[in-house]
Structure 1
Amino acid sequence: MRRPLRQIRSSLTLRLALVAGVTVLVFSLLTAWVLEAAFRDNAADAVETRLEAQVLLLMGLVEVVGRNEVRVPEMLPESRLQLPASGLYARILGPDGRTLWRSPSAVGVSLRGWSEDDFFAFSLPVQWELDGGQVGLTFQILEDREAFEEQVEQYRVSLWQGLMTMTISLIVALGLALWFWGLWPLRRVQGDLEALRHGDYGRLEGPYPTEVQALTGSINDLIEFERARLTRQQNALADLAHSLKTPISALRLNLESQNPDPEDMRRQVDRLQAIVQHQLSQAQRLGPAPFQAPEPLNPIIERTCQALGRLASQQGVDLDSYLEPGCALRMEPGAIFELLGNTLDNAIRHATSRVWISTQCTAEAVTLTIDDDGPGIAPGDRARVLERGERADVRSDGEAGQGLGLSIIQALVQDHGGELYIEQAPELHGARIRMVFPAS
């Protein structure tokens, strides 16, 4: 018993078929009960009407001779009144209740103690006018219920046979309609999901019914979320590799120098740890950390400039900063290190001799600006170089880089509600990377 119930609970088709079948069956039972009751009532009314008409016909034939004597013709209008034990009986009662006349069908039949369960009966008391006054007579006719019950039973059998045939046909028709038409959208979703699993579709599209659109919309949202997470994790690996190049290069320069600086190496290792931690958290989180407290900007800029000082010196570039006090960003330190490292690395590699980094704080915004005196970025290339994998230069060794630096910068800026602008540095005449964030 438990197994069929478990199958019904786990199958939408069986559930709908069961609901449809029970509904049709209950409707058929109620319809049969109502029709049978209506037929019985109408048939009973018809019998009573017929009995009343027969009493009136009998009254038209009767001749009242005296107070206790009546005459009735031998030929009666209803043949059943002349057949013994026919089931239809008539009699005339006198003023004192004695039987003055009974139909030939009632000969040998006791009509005493008759009840409504056995007979239909119609009685009509009248005051018959005679020369000597009035005589009270009662005309009475009775009909056995047996024929009536047989008629009702025949109707019941025909009714139930017809309704059961119609019920079974309707249940089968509803089941087929549910399977081939009602549940067709779900089978289509199943087929589309299978095609989606094999890579034939990118998402669930189609004229689905309103009730199914909520399901397909949620599935599409889940698909987009998973794709975005996968893309971000893939990008995080590439961004991690790209972001580690600068501190690793600085570590190598320090190790290869004649006077290695342990403090500088420690700063580079701290940068490596911060970058790795930031990229891992970004890959898992799909966005910046919520409820991030404002982080002082100037100390991180100073540490980053110190860490990149040896790399700038090797390139023959002076790295200067002009920082307003009190600037802060709602950004993780690792994200700020990555933002500054990628931006300054690009500026140092493309600068001729100078790179400036400056901050500006107002009540509405925090602006971080990095200028260099390199060749700059042509206006026609400024939108393109922000795309992942695009770049506008070729490295000194003749090979194109990965083109990830500016795209990483833009993603970090936009993730934290800021805007990135590529312009021409007004004083150094190279490239200006200007990042504007909402004030903390």
Structure 2
Amino acid sequence: MGFSPKNRSLTKVVLLVSNTVLLLALAVVGLVMAQAFKEKTLHIVKERLESYVEALLPDLEIIEGQLVFPEQLPTPRLNQPGSGMYAEIIAVNEYWHSPSAIGQNLPKAVRVSTNQRLFESPLEYQGERLFRLSQGVEIESEQTSELVTIILTEHAGNFYEELWEFEETLLSWLLGISLFLLVMQWLTMVWATKPLKKLTQDLALLEKGDSLIFSENYPTELMGLTSSLNRLIANERNHLERQRKTLGDLAHSLKTPLAVIQSELGTDESDKDVIQQQLNHMNEIVAYQLKKAAVAGHRTFTQGVPVIDLLDKIIQTLQKIHKNKNISVDTQIAPGAIFYGEKGDLLELLGNLLENAFKWCDQHVKVTIKTLFVEGRQRTGLKINIADDGPGIPENKRLVLLQRGVRGDEKVLGHGIGLSIVSDIVDSYQGQMAISEDEQFKGACFKITLPP
């Protein structure tokens, strides 16, 4: 039966991998420390035997053609029989051993060449472990020279028992440290995954409707996720609310024309012109509300739309339509300005505002688009200003144009339903729109802020 990835526990996987790596690392550390201790101890033994060899050399000489062996030994152990430290000197025709070797059965001595040094550790002999250092030297006199081999042998004694005690102590410490680290790692994992468990609980509350958004009490690493989810939830709820309002507006707007048609049909002589007029009115209302419902609104996860490409196409189209007016368009767009939303929304927003500007201007239209930065947000927003040198909009009518929920049957002088669509789009992106008088052209200036 296969193990499905969706059933894996993140905590268990992390603990399993990290604990395995930790135990392997501690095992490697233990082996390295044990090996280093053993090599260092053996090195000390070798250096001690080498020092004894060097101490024997000055008393080893040739006098009147005879090899004279040392009488003064470098350590008292060489004078004590069975002390565990033995010295041997092998010449071509002669052999000498220290008093400590009397009655001892030692491994067969092996001659080595001049200046050759051989350290055997351990040397297994008759069930015992020995350390043996063999050094080849050439003893010279005025008449002759002789090659001899000096051999120092030492019982390993408690060396390997002590080494095992060290390894056992090291193993105990490593096991204790491993257990401590495993417990600490488990506690750390439990503590670190608490926010994820809280996130799961908050999701459950959202599903049951007990909570509207995620709380802000999360670690920094999760704040980006929860903030994005909060914006996503808010956007979807706003979108649903707009859809409900649109259906309500549509139903309310159709009541009057339907009542007129019903009234006409209830008479003996129906006025077809009145019915047709009401039907046309209903078509306008439906078209407007469908257009209004098509506003996608702010989206948390969406691909950015480059503003300059879309703006250039709109301006080129409008200049062809109004080519007789010879309109001059001044555009100032921040490099890399991006609209994070539906392309159709940006097309409606810029298209309606620029269409009004081209319609009411004399000869000049100015478009300024800046990038809006907000701390804590990776995306950027937009600041859009569209001005013209036309007659402008009276101050007492500006608030009427910016009212929410303007229906298709409410006609604002000179501006139709386009600004209502623009207002809905701006609202859907949690933005702001203001109307003022342009300082340069003295005409209408629409100022729109779209946050990231």
Query: TM-score scaled to structure 2, two decimals?
Result: 0.58
Aligned: 1:218 with 2:216: no
Tell whether 2:282 aligns with 1:272.
yes
> What does residue 311 of structure 1 align with?
none
Note the C-alpha offset of 1:173. Answer: 0.8
Q: Is the 8 A contact 1:386 1:406 kept in 2?
A: no
1:144/1:216 Cα in 2 relative to 1: closer, same or farther (>3 Å)? same
In structure 2, the CA distance between the partners of 1:135 and 1:254, relative to structure 1 (3 Å rule), is: same
Residue pair 1:21, 1:171 contacting (<8 A) in 2 also: yes
Q: Which residue of 2 aligns with 1:158?
A: 169
Residue by residue, what CA displacement relative to the aligned partner does 1:166-192 show, whole Å, maximum 9, x if unpaired? 112201211111212x22332333344
Counterpart of 1:46 in structure 2: which amino acid? I
- CA distance 1:33–1:249, change in 2 (3 Å): same
CA distances 1:113-143 after superposition (whole Å, capped 9, x unpaired): 6782525333445566889876655432023
TM-superposed CA distance for 1:108, in Å, is 4.6
Q: CA deviation at 1:250?
A: 3.6
Alignment map for 1:204-283 (pairs within 5 Å):
204-206=214-216, 208-252=218-262, 254-255=264-265, 259-273=269-283, 275-276=285-286, 278-280=288-290, 282-283=292-293
Deviates more, 1:12-21 or 1:48-57: 48-57
Q: Residues 82 and 105 of structure 1 are in contact (CA less than 8 Å); yes or no, is this contact kept in structure 2?
A: yes
Aligned length: 344
1:412 to 413, 416, 421: 421
Counterpart in 2 of 1:15? Answer: 13
Partners of 1:416 and 1:196 in 2: CA distance: 27
Quote the Cα distance in structure 2 between the aligned partners of 1:243 and 1:284: 18
- Measure, in 2, the Cα distance between the counterparts of 1:141 and 1:189: 74
Query: Which deviations, in whole Å up to 9, do the C-alpha atoms of 1:3-48 show, x marking residues without a partner?
Result: 4x747x6322122212321231222122112212211221111111
Query: 2 CA distance for matches of 1:254 and 1:362?
Result: 46
Asked if 1 retains the 8 angstrom alpha-carbon contact of 2:46 and 2:133, the reply is yes
Matched residue SS, 2:17:
helix
Cα distance change on mapping 1:100 and 1:242 into 2, 3 Å: same
Letter in 1 for 2:174: L
Structure 2 letter corresponding to 1:25:
L
In structure 1, what is the Cα distance between the partners aligned to 2:187 and 2:152? 56
1:92 aligned residue: 89
Q: 2:52, 2:74 within 8 Å by CA — same for their partners in 1? A: no
In structure 2, the CA distance between the partners of 1:103 and 1:91, relative to structure 1 (3 Å rule), is farther
Report the Cα offset of residue 248 of structure 1.
2.1
1:286 aligns with 2:286: no
CA distance in 2, matches of 1:368, 1:252: 44
Partner of 1:101: 97
Larger CA deviation: 278-287 vs 223-232? 278-287
Task: Say which SS state the counterpart of residue 143 (structure 1) adopts.
Answer: strand
Residue identity (%): 25
- CA offsets per residue over residues 316-372 of structure 1, 9 Å max, x none? xxxxxxxxx99xxxx99xx9xxx9xxxxxxxxxxxxxxxxxxx85767489999x9x
Per-residue deviation at 1:49? 1.8
What CA RMSD, in Å, does the superposition of the two structures yield over aligned residues? 5.3
Superposed displacement of residue 263, structure 1? 4.4
**Are residues 1:139 and 2:137 paired?**
no
Q: How far did 1:220 drift?
A: 1.5
1:24 matched to 2:29? The reply is no
CA distance in 1, matches of 2:411, 2:101: 117
Contact 1:413 1:435 in 2 (8 A): no
Which segments of 5 or more consecutive residues in structure 2 lack a partner in the other structure? 111-118, 124-129, 299-304, 316-323, 326-343, 353-358, 366-386, 427-431, 437-443
Q: Aligned with 1:179: secondary structure?
A: helix
Structure with higher Rg: it is 1
